[in-house]
């Protein structure tokens, strides 16, 4: 038997869809593009992950919550339903509180006023390559009249994994606990991220909205804005803690805020159950890479470099068959309002820059995903905090 089997490679197709005008028309455009994809339509109209069908009364409660905290979402789903013939109350996004977790790493770096006062925000999203139709590999730019335009990766078409809006607000997330038991009632991250991008312009506004929202998720939300303000919100079930890092309080100092797949804020430490060894390693790799002179002079380039540096020296992983491979990397330049995105592993694929003014429609991209086994100790668990 070959002791060193050849690395498997797959080519994945990514899409960038640009929709605009009203939420309803956004939904119709999504429906028009995907209505002939029978596998996806079946997925989007079936109870999520084997759950029981959502009762009409429960669907009504969910829709009322969306209308309160993310107005327009129901109209988007209705437009999709009218275009595809799917009943709105059966769209799987309403079941999304059963969401499984991905493995991610994120950071915000703000230079002090003496170093241009530049704010950049990065994220790597890592998961498996056999996850369709669950993961559509869809970058979505949405321009709805009266709301900030935003660009981010879509989850179940209507939710967002991450994104930046044209006010310079960026929101990314990482799992706080892997495969938690989801029992509470409230929003989970796809609805939260979408609500923040649609309704907020600053990190302070986003934190206030999150405080008011019913959230039931095990997730870390990293939020930054064009002024350089940063907020880290960690959630475990219905418990939340937020740490605010205002630019004004930092004086001339640089600020680095990090997050991986564990909790760091004081009251959340008790929820660090079975933290993966690789989470701490990725966290420290980010810290090391983003505190040197290169990061100070060119934060975008420094973030792109660490995103493409292979674990354990960096945060790029290629263990797709184990559910832990880099599906995309992002560096948001809050100051310039630019999203630098690499589809697939940055070691083999190029970075592209996106703004908010691309014409409506769909463009396709391809990326190489190389698979190889994780190193020894990668999946080890650190001692519990309890």
> Tokens standing for 142?
């949405």
Closest CA to 353 of 365, 361, 369, 371: 365
pLDDT tier at 2 (50, 70, 90 boundaries)? very low
Using one digit for the tens of pLDDT, what is the confidence trace for 272-326? 987 889 999 999 999 999 987 777 788 999 999 999 999 999 999 999 999 999 9
Q: How far apart are CA 310 and CA 314, in angstroms?
A: 5
Q: How far apart are CA 220 and CA 223, in angstroms?
A: 10
Closest CA to 153 of 170, 168, 178: 170
Give residue 98's pLDDT: 42
Q: How far apart are CA 331 and CA 238, in angstroms?
A: 30
Whether residue 124 is predicted with pLDDT greater than 90 in this model: the reply is yes
* Residue-range domains of the chain with CATH: 19-98 (no CATH), 102-371 (3.60.60.10)
Mean pLDDT of 121-126: 95
Give residue 188's pLDDT: 87
The share of the chain scoring above pLDDT 90, in percent, equals 70
Q: What is the pTM of this model?
A: 0.92
Please report the DSSP string for 71-128 in residue order.
Answer: TTHHHHHHHHHHHHT--GGG-GGGGGGGPPP-EEEEEEEE--GGGTT-EEEEEEEEE-
Q: Is 44 helix (H, G, I), strand (E, B) or coil?
A: helix
Q: Do the Cβ atoms of 100 and 178 come closer than 8 Å?
A: no
């Amino acid at each position: 038997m070959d002791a060193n089997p050849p690395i498997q490679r797959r080519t994945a197709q990514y899409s960038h869809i640009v929709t605009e005008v009203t939420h309803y028309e956004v939904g119709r455009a999504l429906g028009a593009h995907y209505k002939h994809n029978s596998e996806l339509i079946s997925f989007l109209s079936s109870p999520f992950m084997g759950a029981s069908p959502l009762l009409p009364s429960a669907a009504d409660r969910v829709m009322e919550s969306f209308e309160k905290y993310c107005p327009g979402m129901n109209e988007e789903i209705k437009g999709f339903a009218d275009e595809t013939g799917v009943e709105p109350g059966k769209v799987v996004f309403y079941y999304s509180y059963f969401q499984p977790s991905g493995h991610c790493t994120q950071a915000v770096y703000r230079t002090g006023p003496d170093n241009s006062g530049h704010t950049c925000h990065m994220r790597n999203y890592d998961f498996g390559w056999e996850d369709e139709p669950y993961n559509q590999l869809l970058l979505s730019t949405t321009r709805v009249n009266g709301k900030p335009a935003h660009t981010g990766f879509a989850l179940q078409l209507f939710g967002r994994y991450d994104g930046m809006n044209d006010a310079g607000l960026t929101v990314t997330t990482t799992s706080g606990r892997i495969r938690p038991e989801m029992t509470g009632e409230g929003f989970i991250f796809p609805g939260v991220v979408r609500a923040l991008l649609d309704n907020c312009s600053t990190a302070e506004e986003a934190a206030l909205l999150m405080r008011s929202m019913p959230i039931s998720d095990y997730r870390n939300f990293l939020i930054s804005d064009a002024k350089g303000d940063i907020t880290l919100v960690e959630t475990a079930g219905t418990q939340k803690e937020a740490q605010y890092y205002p630019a004004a309080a930092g004086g001339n100092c640089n600020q680095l805020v990090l997050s991986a797949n564990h909790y760091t804020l004081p009251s959340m430490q008790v929820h660090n159950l079975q933290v993966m060894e690789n989470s701490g390693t990725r966290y420290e790799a980010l810290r090391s890479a983003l505190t040197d002179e290169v990061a100070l002079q060119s934060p975008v380039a420094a973030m792109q470099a660490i995103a493409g540096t292979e674990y354990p020296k960096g945060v790029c992983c290629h263990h797709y068959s184990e559910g832990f491979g880099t599906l995309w990397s992002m560096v948001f330049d809050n100051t310039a309002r630019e999203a630098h995105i690499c589809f697939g592993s940055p070691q083999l694929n190029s970075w592209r820059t996106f703004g908010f003014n691309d014409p409506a429609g769909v463009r396709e991209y391809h990326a190489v995903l190389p698979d190889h086994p994780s190193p020894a100790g990668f999946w080890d668990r650190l001692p519990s905090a309890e």
